[in-house]
Structure 1
Amino acid sequence: MRKTIYTGGCLCGAIRFEATAPAEKPHTCSCRICQQHSGAPTAAWVEFPAERVAWTGTGGKPSTWRSSDYSSRAFCPACGSSIGAIDDDPVVALLIGGFDDPRDPALAPQYHSFEDCRPDWLSVETASGEE
């Protein structure tokens, strides 16, 4: 059986990752922390157990900033790109836009978190067809 490896990284390429399938809990989120971290009204995430994520770029692991009592936001210290969140669980949630192929159907969001924080003018469609 062939392993699926998802790759991606930051804008400047210093922070790169390889994540081994399966991708878990692909979703969008409109909480204020995600909005401020990404600069977008909704962030699209996918989770992996930390042991299935390798930091492969010349920059090593991303820099982090503690954003809650259970998670830190990850970003590139060189270009400032948002990479994702590193949770205490240990889970690594990677922003789908940072993947080399964000169109991969396995990364399609299945649900939307914190819909009540989503701007009224924004429609978010998930693979399940629900907003």
Structure 2
Amino acid sequence: MAKDYKGGCLCGNIRFTATGKPLNPHTCSCTMCQRHSGSLSQVWVEFERQQVIWDGPGGKPKLWRSSEYSSRSFCNECGSTLGAIDDAPIIALVVGAFDTPNRLELMPKSHSYVSKKPKWWHVEVTP
């Protein structure tokens, strides 16, 4: 039986349910992730587009086109970061938006753009 992963924004306007196997859980310290999240690194997990349902009262999140292949998503009410919706059939959700972000299968397995993180900050990712 497939697992459900529920989450949403700070105000509850945008809610989602992702079903199935999480893909590519990772952290990223690129400048875009830093500015989108307001933190030194963002924690992501991906799902196939058809595995994500936007089921809150606000429907789908607001989008901002951030690159040639992707748009960043956020709540149009509270501004919470929710993820990135790629042109490819992938939706990347930020792990901090999940109701239960401590689930083992959401643990990052890699770190992108390590060179962009501050030299004083140490991130240890275990396989």
TM-score for both structures, normalised by structure 2:
0.98
SS of match in other structure, 1:77? coil
SS of match in other structure, 2:76? coil
Percent identity over the alignment?
53
1:97 paired residue number:
96
SS of match in other structure, 2:91? strand
1:125 paired residue number:
124
8 A Cα contact 1:108 1:127, kept in partner? no
Return the alpha-carbon distance in structure 2 between the equivalents of residues 10 and 31 of structure 1.
22
Kindly indicate whether residue 17 of structure 2 is the aligned counterpart of residue 30 of structure 1.
no
For structure 2, the residue ranges without an aligned partner over 5 or more in a row are none
The superposition leaves residues 47-79 of structure 1 with CA deviations (integer Å, 9 ceiling, x where unpaired) of: 001010000000000000000111000000000
Return the alpha-carbon distance in structure 1 between the equivalents of residues 97 and 79 of structure 2.
13
What's the CA shift for 1:81? 0.2
Q: Which amino acid aligns with 1:51?
A: Q
2:64 paired residue number:
65
Q: Which amino acid aligns with 1:10?
A: C
Return the alpha-carbon distance in structure 1 between the equivalents of residues 65 and 121 of structure 2.
28
Question: What value does the CA root-mean-square deviation take over the aligned residues?
Answer: 0.7
Aligned ranges 1:72-91 → 2 under 5 Å: 72-91=71-90
TM-score for both structures, normalised by structure 1:
0.95
